Amino acid sequence: MKKYNVAVVGATGLVGQTFLKVLKERKFPIENLYLYASARSAGKKVEFDGKEYEIIELNEDNIRDDIHIALFSAGGGTSKEYGPKFAAKNAVVVDNSSVWRMDKDVPLVVPEANPESLADHSGIIANPNCSTIQVIPALKVLDELYGLKRVIYSTYQAVAGSGQKGIDDLEANLRGEDSKGYPHKIAFNLIPHIDSFLDNGYTKEEIKMVEETRKILGLPNLRVTATCVRVPVRMGHAVSVNVELEKPFDLADVTEAFAKKEGIIVKDDVKNNVYPMPLEAAGKDEVFVGRIRRDESVENGLNLWIVADNIRKGAATNAVQIAEELIKREIV
């Protein structure tokens, strides 16, 4: 098997460390590995697959010209500045920030839904928002079978979605200390505020879910709305998804279609208290779907409960899956 030179930009962060874990677990074909981070982390040693690597300071002079794939998770500012510089040296950048997602020339990809769009890349590919990623496989199934008319999201997002500082705030609150990153205490609380508020009263996180869903599914006129809430859970996002479909459906057929879809695990046996939960999704790469039931208040209405590990499938794993698709389709 051909091997590839891979760079991880933001290698010391929560997602960057998970990139390395996922690359190892999935036996990604790596020839050379280059780990980049800020100047304050330069020179630190990181272990990967039995070998020790030194963190390289991220600056233009240190960008290698033999990199095939660069996995970015270092914030929007870094991605905006350095993504094009890596791409200019013929690396394919898979970026985890929001900066490129709605660029019309940048594919926004969930491999279970729109891998064909990778063929249109010009050196940069965007990884969607964590909450968007986990709902897309199920919505793709429903769109192909019945057509989507309207989607309503209510999210329950873990503190790990804020990175290490979110985890630190939760743990500090449990010790009786105030939050440093969140505007309120998150322990024993819910905060309906993720990212900044816009003039229309929505947060950027909510608008991301709306716009990204439309782009990934290729449905620019799909009616979508969202309310995003931070919850005192360490790892794993949950999303309540209310869907109106264009055509009538049978619940058994819907459940069977989900069970057959790669990347989805159905957990829906309410008589035995079986349904998706963040604790069970932690450390997994799949999306878990349950509480599958009709919304009897509208014609062709359906309710779903979708849970995933937001750092793995919601970030690192999806990016690595994109890289795997690039190799499979021989476009890297």
- CA distances for 175 relative to 145, 178, 191, 211, 235, angstroms: 49, 9, 19, 38, 19
Q: Which of 68, 121, 130, 228 is catalytic?
A: 130
Residue 12 tokens, joined: 């010391």
Decide if 130 is catalytic: yes
Give the whole-angstrom CA distance, residue 213 versus residue 140: 10
Q: How many CA atoms lie within 13 A of 257 on its CB side?
A: 17
Give the number of other Cβ atoms within 10 Å of residue 128's Cβ.
Answer: 26
19, amino acid identity: F
What does DSSP assign to residue 162?
G
Q: Which residue has the tokens 């969930």?
A: 110
What does DSSP assign to residue 272?
G
Q: Which of 68, 121, 228, 237 is catalytic?
A: 237
> Widest CA span of the chain, in angstroms?
60
Chain-centroid distance of CA 230 in Å reads: 16
Q: Which residue has the tokens 């008319």?
A: 149
Give the whole-angstrom CA distance, residue 185 versus residue 181: 9
Residue 161 tokens, joined: 């979605």
Instruction: Indicate the SS3 state at residue 291.
Output: strand
If we measure between CA atoms, which residue out of 81, 125, 78 comes closest to residue 100? 125
Angle, helices 130-146/204-217, rounded to nearest 10 degrees? 40
- Residues forming beta bridges with residue 305, ordered by sequence position: 240, 290
Decide if 237 is catalytic: yes
Give the whole-angstrom CA distance, residue 207 versus residue 133: 14
Give the number of other Cβ atoms within 10 Å of residue 253's Cβ.
Answer: 11
Instruction: Please give the positions annotated as active site.
Output: 130, 237
